[in-house]
Amino acid sequence: MVSVPGSCGELVQGIVDGVRLHASCPVDRYALATWRPGPRRAGHGEKVRRALAAAGGSPAFLAGLTIRSDLPRGIGMASSTADVGAAVGLWLAMGRGAVDAGAVARAALAVEPTDGVLFDGIVLFDHRRGSVLERWGAPPPIELVAVEVGGPVDTLAFNERDTAAVSREQGGAILRAFELVRRGLAHGNAVSIGRGATISALCHQNILPKPAREPLLRLALEEGGYGVNVAHSGSLIGLLLPPGGYDRERVQRRIAELVRREAPIRRLRLVSGGLHVGTA
């Protein structure tokens, strides 16, 4: 079996020197792929089928493939990347005995823009072309309280939008955000990571606005947190908080008051990304 984490959006996302980049934000919710010989037990989405075809996957493998996922669709939790990564990773592991995350990413990128959760740790990744990859290391302990503040977003349509002009205006701030997150990971500094993520979230209000973003940021800081991050092509806001260092019931109550709608709230943990191979 192979599992891949989903995400709570991205820590930072923006255009640098004409290249669309993000710093990944993997969390402890997963897609899990398993295989047994025999007829297909469940249908698979078009993205999984296309990515497996790009990786040379056989019809017999697809017929015996099962994918289970904890990740909701369309809100910015990298559900498609996790599904595709788990499926292609399992195909490669069964054939080679090992999994190359780069090969999995190439198959995924043949289908659509892809999240860096496929790679170990937190990474800087070009989610359209895969041409830039820097490994920034494992995260310090950070809990995320993830709030849906809008409806599902069509990721493919969003990624076709022309945001270059806005991104150029914000280029300096985005560079600063990436650097803060990079340094924070290098030194295990959650405050620096939160500052970088918050800068990126604020900049993105000009591209895909999030309702209640400012009051949720204030709430995170009042609870001793580090800031907020967002799903740059989804509807999530994540409050970045110290594990065990805040009042969970009070935060949940305040979120309900601020959002003023039935909004799922998920408690997540920032983890290292990567494809995890095991036995069923």
Residue 74 belongs to domain with CATH number: 3.30.230.10
- Integer Cα distance of 57 and 95 in angstroms: 10
Chain centroid to CA 33: 18
Q: Which of 135, 167, 195 is the last residue of a domain?
A: 135
pLDDT by residue, tens only, the chain of 280 residues: 999 999 999 999 998 888 889 999 999 999 999 999 876 656 688 999 999 999 999 989 999 999 999 999 889 999 999 999 999 999 999 987 778 999 999 999 999 999 999 999 999 999 999 988 999 999 999 999 999 986 555 555 555 555 565 566 667 899 999 999 999 999 999 999 999 999 999 988 776 778 788 999 999 999 999 999 999 888 899 999 999 989 999 999 999 999 877 778 899 999 999 999 986 5
Give the model's pLDDT for residue 234: 86
Q: Which two tokens stand for residue 149?
A: 């503040």
Same domain, 21 and 78: yes
Give the model's pLDDT for residue 38: 74
Give the model's pLDDT for residue 152: 57
Chain centroid to CA 82: 9
Q: What is residue 114's three-state secondary structure?
A: coil
Give the model's pLDDT for residue 163: 56
Q: Which of 103, 135, 167 is the last residue of a domain?
A: 135
Give the model's pLDDT for residue 43: 66
Beta-bridge partner residues of 143: 241, 269
Q: Which residue has the tokens 């698979």?
A: 44
Report CA dihedral (91, 97, 102, 104) to the nearest 10 degrees.
10
- Integer Cα distance of 161 and 144 in angstroms: 28
Q: Which two tokens stand for residue 270?
A: 């920032």
Give the model's pLDDT for residue 231: 92
Same domain, 153 and 212: yes
**Domain hosting residue 91, numbered range:** 2-135
Give the model's pLDDT for residue 165: 57
What SS3 string covers the chain?
CEEEEEEEEEEEEEEECCEEEEEEEEEEEEEEEEECCCCCCCCCCHHHHHHHHHCCCCHHHHHHEEEEECCCCCCCCCHHHHHHHHHHHHHHHHHHCCCCHHHHHHHHHCCCCCCHHHCCEEEEECCCCCCCEEEEECCCCCEEEEEECCCCCCHHHHHCCCCHHHHHHCHHHHHHHHHHHHHHHHHCCHHHHHHHHHHHHHHHCCCCCCCCHHHHHHHHHHCCCCEEEECCCCCEEEEEECCCCCCHHHHHHHHHHHHCCCCCEEEEEECCECCEECCC
Give the model's pLDDT for residue 6: 98
Same domain, 108 and 174: no
Give the model's pLDDT for residue 211: 78
- Integer Cα distance of 220 and 147 in angstroms: 12
Same domain, 110 and 207: no
Same domain, 123 and 55: yes
| pTM attached to this predicted model | 0.91
For residue 103, being part of any structural domain is answered with: yes
